[in-house]
Structures are given as structure tokens and as C-alpha cells.
Structure 1
């Protein structure tokens, strides 16, 4: 395991790798407002022990990567997609298996559409389509919307931010499984303490999309695995079903009673699915 700073087109990003560089590369793309810590170290090590060279990184305005003034990010969602290319370049990797969760799954789709030569396969977790489609998608749950509209937080106080993010994580968990508040609180605390400016994570909420991809999801040609919890409150299960229908030959793995994100209870299942999915390229 090694953490280091890279420079991609003048933008400093923090990245970390696990495993043997000679193994098939897996790039992990986190959702917005969250650093690479949310790809937990134990999860990354399980993938590496399965014979994969694993890379995680901090998005801009998270963790130790470049931080902008809160409310004035000066970059777009398209730039975050481009950062993924920059991370691969910095590691000398022509193409990788790309695993994205939440908004990171959207970035992964756009990466496959805009830079198809850099993507060997896709794994899309707890996400929705990044470009328009014909199927109507279900809205977030009432509980999720109620939290989003009523939760209060003082972004100048770390303690307030931690309480808010723990409560948000509880809602995202979906309510059908026990919620490990101790583990989540520890992760949130480390994420907040590690950030240059934890208030800057809100910049992801106001990003313009940048240049939209003109290609439909049906033009994605790489093997794709969609993993989705049946209790996801942000992107209900119909979002995963739509992705699996619209991306050619995509497979859908349903996680019973799982909410939004990568729950520790599902690590073995998700890691096993990723290893199997990414091994298909080796067999080819």
C-alpha cells in the first residue's frame, strides 16, 4: 500500500494503491462529497489479495486532494471524469477495470463513453444512468427526501458535520439491516479530520455538468456488472434494473435489503463478483 500525490494537468490529487502492479488494474471511483476512505482499506485489500492491482483516490475537494473555496469550485463534473484518466496516466496504466459507486458510477459510465480505450470493464454500484434514457425511474424514498430537506448542519464545526454525516449514512443504509453506528462514526471522523477543508465537499453539490456525452448507454461495449441494493433510498432498485437493461449484455446483481453504498456485510459478495467479472477479460 502506498499513498502519494500526483499532478494531472496542474491539479494535485491524492491516490493510493494496493497489491502487485503486475496484476490486472482496478480503479475505484467514489461518489461525490466523499474521499477515497469510503473505499475502505479492508475492502481494497480483499480485492488485492484476489489478484488485482487496486487504485483509489481523493476527488477534488475531498481528502488530501486540491481544495477550492467553498461555493466556488472552478471545475465541472466533466473535469472529475477527466481526473480518473489522469490517475491512470500517473500510474502508467493504459486501461483498467473501473468500479464506481453512487455518482462515481455515473463518472464511470461517462469514462466508458468518452474514453472507451481506457476502460476494460465496468462495475456500477448503487448508481443511476449518467445519460438520458427512455425508462422512467423511481424517485428517492420519502425518508430520504425528508432528511435532505430538514437536516441541519453547521459546516464551520467539525462536530456538527460529523453528526450530520453519520445521520445521513443511517438514512442511506435503507433501514432494513442493523446500522453499525460505531464503525460509521469512526470512518466519518477520519474523513473529516483528514480533509484540507471539510466544508469544501459541498462544492460537489453545485458543479455544472460540463460537456455532456452525446452517446447513449447502449453504445457502451465493455462487459458491465450492475450491483444494486434492494433497499437503496437514493436510487431505488429500479435504477439498477434500468442500467442493466440499457447497457448491452450487462448483468445485474441484487443485494437483498442493502441500502446505498458498499456495506461491510456485502464485502465478500461484492469482492467475489468483481473478481469474477474482471477475470473474464483475462480469459478473453
Structure 2
């Protein structure tokens, strides 16, 4: 499918859809620091083949969406969450099955809490509670913390950035499965070469995340599925388990050996779970 540029509230976002427009809509929200390419095309086509209209989009300062001056992002974390609604508005979709990964899962929780009328069902992958509460959750692994505290890239040099992002992908994949460096390098290179300004993504490290939603997670009414890997180095499994406890009626799908994100080895499992979950969650 061809990419489609949309503009809502003066914000220009690059989007892409797969599948029959008459099928139930699934909106994919990627984590910060990543464009829609990280919802890989093969995964999107699996969902479309299962009878879903799939929409992915580039966050601000990623891919071909609007970019801002480096070091001066003109938006907040709340604005990024609001962009999910802007995409639905542009496609004239009253409500969708919303799927978020990593920080995108946090955004999906915010949307489900603040705009429940727009969320038919919710799938949260490799993420953590977006609402503060009385809970103790384990920190990232030592390997992850060592990487984020020491690894650097020369953001003026695309090859340096590609090497850095491939190394980061290796860390995120965890230590239980073989890492496909060739596939990761191909994806990262396409992402960097496609971007309006690949260095603008560093703005995601500068944004004000905003206030936690006031509503507790227990007030989420959308049918919810949590998907989490046992080798997630950023958010250990306990983060997913906390979500499953706190959101009423949530089902937890544990992926043995999976790291952080949507890995190729799990595409069929995750896509099948989303299709099944969205079938139970209404058609809009």
C-alpha cells in the first residue's frame, strides 16, 4: 500500500494502511525513537490477511512525519498519544483496536483511559504501567543500563547512527535467542535513509512526558491483551504481569525467550492473538 500524508490540527503525519477498508480497523502505535517501519510490513500483512484493516504511522520526528529543530521539540508525550486520535480522525474511523509496543503501549493506555470511546480493544506489547501506583517493578537489566549509559552515536554520520541502532536492537532482543544482525541492519538502514532528518529522533529524549493520567488502570474498560517476553531487558516480565493484574479481565500472553518488541519469530503468534482478541472486542 502507498504511504499517505495526513494533516490534523496542523500536524503532518505519514501513515500507511493495509487490508480492506471495510474490515475492522487496527491502529499500531510504535514506541518512541522508532518510525512505523518497526511495525514490519510482513507483520502488518499477516494482520491484514486475517481480515483486519491495519494502519501504522510515523511519530513526529521519525520517518516522513513532521520534524522539529533538534533539541527543541514542539510537542509533549501527551501530544504523541493524541496523534493516535489524529490518525483515526484523518481516516474517519470512530474507534479502532489499538495495539501499542513499548512507549507506544503507554500511549495506548493513555488513549484507552482518556478516550475510551475510540478504543474497541487494547493490546499492550513489551510495555509497563503508564499510571503511577503503589507497586515495585524490577529495573532494566544491567546490560541494558550499561548500553544506554555508555553507547554513543555521531548523529551527523549516518553510518555511525546505523551501527549504534543495530547494537541497540541487539541489546533489546535479549540474551535467549540468536540475533539476526543482517535483518536488523537492513531495517535500520532503510529507516535512516527514509527519514526526513534521521537525527531529529533525538528530540524524543527531550520531550516532557507530561502528567500521569488521573484515572487508575482499573478504569480501562476496553478488552485488553498483554503480550510480554520473558527476556525483555527494558521492562522485565513483571511489568507485563502488573498490567495484567491491574486492568480488569486482561489476558496475559507470555512469549518464552522473547526480548523487547515484535520479533520475527513471534509474528504469527502475536498476529494470531491480535486477530482473535479483536474479534472478541467488537467491530466498530
Q: Which residue of 2 aligns with 1:92?
A: 92
The 1-side partners of 2:189 and 2:267 are apart by: 22
SS at the partner of 2:221? coil
Q: Which runs of 5+ in 2 are unaligned?
A: none
Cross-structure match for 1:187: 187
Partner of 1:150: 150
- Worse-matched range after superposition: 204-213 or 87-96: 204-213
Q: Residue 28 of structure 1 aligns with which residue?
A: 28
Match of 1:259 in 2: 259
> Deviation at 1:133?
2.0
* Contact 1:58 1:65 (C-alpha < 8 Å) held by counterparts: yes
CA distance in 1 between counterparts of 2:211 and 2:75 reads 12
- How far apart are residue 254 of structure 1 and its match? 0.3
- Please give the per-residue CA displacement for 1:126-168, whole angstroms capped at 9, x wherever unaligned: 0001111222100000000011111121010000000000000
**Cα distance change, pair 66–151 in 1 and its aligned pair in 2 (3 A):** same
Say which SS state the counterpart of residue 185 (structure 1) adopts: helix
Question: What do residues 38-65 of structure 1 show as CA deviations (whole Å, max 9, x unaligned)?
Answer: 0000000000000000000000000000
| 1:168-187 pair list within 5 angstroms | 168-187=168-187
* Rounded Cα–Cα distance in structure 2 between residues aligned with 1:116 and 1:282: 13
1:2 CA displacement: 2.7
SS in 2 for 1:28: strand
1:173 touches 1:179 (CA, 8 Å); kept in 2? yes
Partner Cα separation in structure 2 for residue 283 and residue 112 of structure 1: 16
Name the SS for the 2:281 alignment partner. helix
Match of 2:4 in 1: 4
**Deviation readout 1:162-193 (Å, 9 max, x if unpaired):** 00000000000001101000000000000000
Given that 1:229 and 1:258 are in contact with CA atoms closer than 8 Å, whether structure 2 keeps it comes out as yes
- Counterpart for residue 50 of structure 1: 50
Superposed, 1:1-284 pairs within 5 Å as 1-282=1-282
With normalisation by structure 1, the TM-score equals 0.98
Q: Against the structure 1 CA distance between its residues 84 and 49, is the aligned structure 2 distance closer, same or farther, given a 3 Å change threshold?
A: same
- List gaps (5 residues or longer) in structure 1: none
CA distance in 1, matches of 2:43, 2:137: 30
Separation in 2 of the partners of 1:2 and 1:116? 30
Shift of 1:283: 8.4
When the two structures are aligned, how many residues end up with a matched partner? 284
Determine the C-alpha separation between the residues in 2 that align with 1:179 and 1:97. 31
The structural deviation recorded for 1:15 is 0.3
